[in-house]
Structure 1
């Protein structure tokens, strides 16, 4: 795995971005009208699969995965512009992997939980907004960033959700486009384990309740929330874990071990992709995790 330490990454030296990230097909209902990396002959899963309604084929993977280019030579680099409506930086372990660091530098809307601001400034990256209850901010930083600091004192939601709700309401993403905004979450794992587990589980909440397509990227892999039967880009040997939320029917093709309607979180972990894509056949919601390419 290509991880650079903090000192090596401060200047944005990212010569190669890991190449396993899938694309957004142009016919996906949430995809941009033009996408430069979509092959015209991408196959569809047969519509007669037992878990796929006969009137349509399996949907392609969520648009939150539009991180790079797919080609016969593998995926290219993360584009110079961010494919996300918003990037939210939490106050967990600051990312070291070149991919999340590149995303931080190219984000057009970078919303920072207040506890992450000081470390972000070490990289000389300017946030769009700082959100939180202010307990983690020094008075000096509160004054210096008063023009973009948005204190939210209520305690019903954690800072990650406060930042998400702020982005949804203040960046005018609920408008008339009727498309799901794509949010990327960084720095949301590490440190306290209860915070990590809570932040990961919030991906499904944002997907179902806030109509967001979220992707959480760590130094080791990435989570996406999904619903129903979907096809996911991959690579041979990629480690895959699936966490069932509401599925009563759950199976797969293209994975080393077929999946089933898991009743425990651990049951869907430590699977493996066999080729450049795999399919999950489902009738409900689930979280899917894939590792970065080594």
Structure 2
């Protein structure tokens, strides 16, 4: 958080930020989760509150769009755990729609995506990671792991659950499609 250029709180998350003395630059969302006391407190602070009533997108998607407008080169998302499972699941779709390099930091892992490209991650040998296709994916390759996949077409299933890094770097690529990657901490 300390190294961030901008900190954006999604709607009700501002209350947690205020409780933890995290300095926020923007609050974005439909503001349906805020208590009146918090709204009054926000008016006294030096931050920008951007109310977006669009119910076709969740507050995280609205914040990602705003970060894109700010020309962010990377987005790190924290605090999505807790609340309803539906809300948490929607967070994964939010990064899939995002063109910017983005990461969801969970208590036990970091979630990222691959869109028809190749990534190399530094990882500790023995660390577990999972790779899940979103729809059909063509030409998927995973190297540096216990279970190697070499240029295979894969469909959504549990096959990619709990692979293990056997090298200090793992390479994951996908010629066509989207993958979600969960790297254990």
TM range (shorter): 0.7 to 0.9
Deviation at 1:234, TM superposition (A): 1.2
Deviation at 1:228, TM superposition (A): 2.2
Structure 2 alignment gaps of length 5 or more: none
SS in 2 for 1:240: strand
- Counterpart residue number, 1:269: 161
Task: Give the Cα–Cα distance (whole angstroms) in 2 for the partners of residues 141 and 148 of structure 1.
Answer: 14
Task: Give the Cα–Cα distance (whole angstroms) in 1 for the partners of residues 15 and 124 of structure 2.
Answer: 37
Task: Give the Cα–Cα distance (whole angstroms) in 2 for the partners of residues 272 and 112 of structure 1.
Answer: 34
> Does structure 2 retain, via aligned residues, the 8 Å contact 1:244–1:261?
no
- Counterpart residue number, 1:160: 60
Q: Is 1:240 matched with 2:137?
A: no
TM normalised by structure 2 equals: 0.87
> Does structure 1 retain, via aligned residues, the 8 Å contact 2:137–2:155?
no
Q: Is 1:253 matched with 2:143?
A: yes
> Does structure 2 retain, via aligned residues, the 8 Å contact 1:142–1:149?
no
The correspondence of residues 34-73 of structure 1 with structure 2, limited to 5 A, is: none
Deviation at 1:277, TM superposition (A): 0.7
Task: Give the Cα–Cα distance (whole angstroms) in 2 for the partners of residues 150 and 230 of structure 1.
Answer: 34
- Counterpart residue number, 1:219: 107
Q: Is 1:109 matched with 2:1?
A: no
TM normalised by structure 1 equals: 0.56
Task: Give the Cα–Cα distance (whole angstroms) in 2 for the partners of residues 229 and 140 of structure 1.
Answer: 47
> Does structure 2 retain, via aligned residues, the 8 Å contact 1:232–1:277?
yes
Deviation at 1:118, TM superposition (A): 1.2
Deviation at 1:229, TM superposition (A): 3.0
Deviation at 1:224, TM superposition (A): 1.4
**Which structure: greater strand fraction?**
2
- Counterpart residue number, 1:141: 38
Task: Give the Cα–Cα distance (whole angstroms) in 1 for the partners of residues 113 and 159 of structure 2.
Answer: 17
The structure-2 alpha-carbon separation of the partners of 1:167 and 1:280, relative to structure 1 and needing over 3 Å to count, comes to closer
Q: Deviations over 1:42-89 (max 9, x none)?
A: xxxxxxxxxxxxxxxxxxxxxxxxxxxxxxxxxxxxxxxxxxxxxxxx
The structure-2 alpha-carbon separation of the partners of 1:189 and 1:262, relative to structure 1 and needing over 3 Å to count, comes to farther
Deviation at 1:281, TM superposition (A): 3.7
Structure 1 alignment gaps of length 5 or more: 1-102, 174-179
The runs of at least 4 consecutive aligned structure 1 residues that moved more than 4 Å come to none
Choose from 155, 176, 179 the match for 1:286.
Answer: 179
Aligned residues: 177
